[in-house]
Amino acid sequence: MSAIALQERPGAARGESDRLEVALGSRETPIGVLHLAATAQGVVRIGFGSQEALDDMAVELGFGPGSDGAGDPAWLEEPARQLDQYFTGTRRRFDLALDRRFSHGFYRRVLDTLIGVAYGTTVSYGELARLAGAPRAARAVGTAMSTNPIPLIVPCHRVVRSDGSVGEYGGRPEVKSWLLEHERSHLGS
């Protein structure tokens, strides 16, 4: 995994030395390439390689290449190790620091609630809305899932439609189905 520093945060005053350093890397997995981004505070973003390039992730985070500093590649070691364990079926719960700077308000509350949905189980959008204290906000929960900056670790793949069908997952329902089956198949091990 490589590290790059991303330029000044949007909105920072001109000349201000307040720069966010991010380590970026890629990891081959059974569901394709995952791009990881971490700061000193924790994992800040995970992206799918088939839908975004590593450079695109940097732009999405609001930065561009060419900064003076660099994120520490060591910030990616533990997240990569735990993701590898997840994909081999030996890890059911992630124990990682998360940098939640890109999740706010109701969406953050929903994503925080989602972390409690157990490995190998699912919850409907409506059930998750109820658990998050907003029983009529199933559609807003769907939006929170689609904007989840840290999929897999914050397991939005465990949220299904009220009829039990899988629904979307980053535009690839087959990936969501694979992840759910992967978890079910490792429940007894």
Angle subtended by helix axes 138-146 and 105-114, to nearest 10: 80
Determine contact, residues 83/123, Cβ cutoff 8 Å.
Answer: no
Distances 111 to 12, 18, 157 between C-alpha atoms, Å: 27, 27, 12
Q: Of residues 156, 159, 160, 179, which has the active-site annotation? A: 156
Q: Are 71 and 79 in contact (CB under 8 A)?
A: no
User: Are the beta carbons of 43 and 63 closer than 8 angstroms?
Assistant: no
Whether 50 is a known active-site residue: answer no
Q: What are phi and psi of 46, to 5 degrees?
A: -130, 135
| Residue type present at position 75 | W
Contact 20, 71 (CB under 8 A): no
Catalytically annotated residues = 156
